Structure 1
């Protein structure tokens, strides 16, 4: 385990657009990374999204997350041109209002010839701000996480201007569609040129699973020897040190009424309909006749996505009671990360509803394992999470999306939950301990420490 830094603290510029209070799915990895590095003695400055964008433009925030950031972390929020998100003419700049067609042409030219992403203005503002800060007190290394991938472009530009080494962290893939498993862009799209540029100049590039790394290594062989897999993990500050048996295994649990739970964000890529039908079939079994399935979290990442996603539940099976998404299926609403321990404690079985295949590793699966609960997989075969779950002793895998197989797995998981004892839960938690966040981040911490090369001079 990396030892804490002594002497003058190495100074890190961390380009992490989605950072608390954002509630984007990838926010927890940057949150944990910044906190861990600050704990180890690094001087961490995070460049993140401007607050008006989070609160007014996309309406996607969790205010309680801000309270979980180490107070030693410095937060800076460079400007973002919200051109593409503006629909009210009253929000237009004077130039855009007077010359709308010219403004559009200028914007499109920038996408093609400067940087091919709508967050490019934030990257430019970040480089300008970083250069001013660097002139006063230099940064020793840069860490950039994507998406957005404008953070990679900013890290590259800052490196070219200052020779400061940088590491890029692929929370998601830029040019690979992880759900269709096909290239995201045409061959002549400028994203390919930019990706090659930033990868070949980076000191290291990080990927959340081996399949993602292999795809990029094949396409960018000149950068392959500096690629690393750094898994996601679960956060010890939001879960108890040990897990206990589920309610169904405790005295007084109601027969035939196990509590299934999904925790996370519901998205359009997830196989909602097979889950709803599978759960309905599971309720035909006497042991799960009065089972409930609770959804904790948001429906979509943006404020206008909820109704469409809720409609998919109702289309799969009409709800029987007010407040239900489908028979026995309820939306309990978002839960602050600081309150997750109670949700996991009160669940008997956790449902891992996931979109995508071998390139997608959901961060939630690590929390699920740490909760010490039976886990039912609902995703296509070959998901990257399967490799992590393979040795988890309470994994119930339907092997696909056939509702009959999902139902059988749910019934079996509910039966297992009712018979769990402390020893079995401890075994499940022991498997999860391999993925506790400080353990998972250790390769990144080591690499950044190597880049600094030494404890900088005292001062």
Structure 2
């Protein structure tokens, strides 16, 4: 290499439909991935949804503070798309849909059944045309796609084959089965299975958030097993801070906190039944259970979820509404113990568990004992859980966590945070970035 010249940075196209300012749960992994690759010296271009999708069509689905945390070196592109499945304003309908609504609906259903069974299908044309033009101006070396939605996987497969560059896919969620109910999402003859098989045959690496998810896909697609890996979720010190040890304040009641989106899948009945029982204990008689976060992801979710919160029972349960990611550190600091309430079983990890551990606070588990998150929590010294998801076991966990909150010392806090630091985003994403770099170097 001539003196003074610099080696060209590897260039990655990252397909992440949900990306800041979206507040969808998967956004945090996508944001962290883009930032980590940029910090590691990659030229990162993110293709994501149009801003108006989050601001107009998904009411209350934005967190503007998140956009400020995206590395300024990341180039964010928002290809246009059609909003057929979300558009309710007849003035915005196409001429075909206004004049021949039945025909338009039939054509739309045909596209779903014959081409790709996802409403986000209309994002693909803009992604493909924009990416091809960008590639011929300055070559991409790698494509990474994260799902859901899984049109990003289809676009990665198409671009990888067309541009003859490697692509990797990152399963934040499962595509063809429901990780909460452990049932298939589609009939066996659905195009979704054909697409998933096609994507996995061509992918250079296939990433999952936990080993349970990886194993399910190995069983269904054994030919891709050697290319399947796990990249756990993690937490961001730059957002949460490093935290400080503060003993529980003896002059006030204990504060338990749930921080995160409340969804219909959560075992709320077991949570609140256990809380009612636990309140009979002297340490919890005046304790608070504070819920911070959105109720669901869509406006229609709010009312039914609010009905499931026992706010009028005078048992210390309070709902404080949504909070921004950057407000999280203060909420953790104000809380004595955290409630890890999640749905599902062996395929569910949740991104929230990593932040909980980073707080160094006692954690009460309210979930089935066999979920994937249990593997992450196993070595956390302030974890309290039952052998079953029952009100009695939940109550016992609340009581044990309350006792721990009153006596936890600096050494226990330090051990807890030390375990959490094995799951920073740098720790979890670092090995993956190294593999992608070697992949690119080997394909040049």
2:201 alignment counterpart: 200
Whole-Å Cα distance in 1 between the matches of residues 108 and 121 of structure 2?
10
2:11 alignment counterpart: 11
1:253 alignment counterpart: 251
CA displacement at 1:91 relative to structure 2:
2.2
CA contact (8 A) 2:157 2:167 kept: yes
Is it true that 1:446 corresponds to 2:434 in the alignment? yes
CA displacement at 1:381 relative to structure 2:
2.2
Is it true that 1:333 corresponds to 2:329 in the alignment? no
Is it true that 1:41 corresponds to 2:34 in the alignment? no
- Matching of residues 155-304 of structure 1 within 5 Å: 155-246=156-247, 248=248, 250=249, 252-254=250-252, 257-304=253-300
- Count of residues in Structure 1 that have an aligned counterpart in Structure 2: 438
Higher RCO, Cα 8 Å, sep 6+: 1
CA displacement at 1:56 relative to structure 2:
0.9
CA contact (8 A) 2:143 2:165 kept: yes
Runs of 4 or more consecutive aligned structure 1 residues displaced over 4 Å after TM superposition: none
2:3 alignment counterpart: none
2:423 alignment counterpart: 435
1:3 alignment counterpart: none
Farther off after superposition, 166-175 or 383-392: 383-392
TM, length-normalised to structure 1: 0.93
Q: RMSD of aligned C-alpha atoms?
A: 1.4
CA contact (8 A) 2:369 2:386 kept: no
1:146 alignment counterpart: 147
CA displacement at 1:98 relative to structure 2:
1.4
Name the SS of the counterpart of 1:295 in structure 2.
strand
1:382 alignment counterpart: 370
1:408 alignment counterpart: 396
Whole-Å Cα distance in 1 between the matches of residues 13 and 429 of structure 2?
17
CA displacement at 1:307 relative to structure 2:
1.1
TM, length-normalised to structure 2: 0.96
2:355 alignment counterpart: 367
Name the SS of the counterpart of 1:68 in structure 2.
coil
Name the SS of the counterpart of 2:229 in structure 1.
strand
CA displacement at 1:7 relative to structure 2:
2.1
CA contact (8 A) 2:384 2:401 kept: yes
CA contact (8 A) 2:291 2:321 kept: yes
Stretches of structure 2 that go unaligned for 5 or more consecutive residues are 1-5
Q: Show CA shifts across 1:28-85 (max 9, x none).
A: 0010111111111111000111111101111201010000000010011111211111
Stretches of structure 1 that go unaligned for 5 or more consecutive residues are 1-5, 322-326
CA contact (8 A) 1:20 1:27 kept: yes
Name the SS of the counterpart of 1:33 in structure 2.
helix
Whole-Å Cα distance in 2 between the matches of residues 115 and 402 of structure 1?
41
Name the SS of the counterpart of 1:448 in structure 2.
helix
CA contact (8 A) 1:9 1:455 kept: no
CA displacement at 1:243 relative to structure 2:
3.6
CA displacement at 1:274 relative to structure 2:
1.1
CA displacement at 1:400 relative to structure 2:
2.3
CA displacement at 1:454 relative to structure 2:
6.5
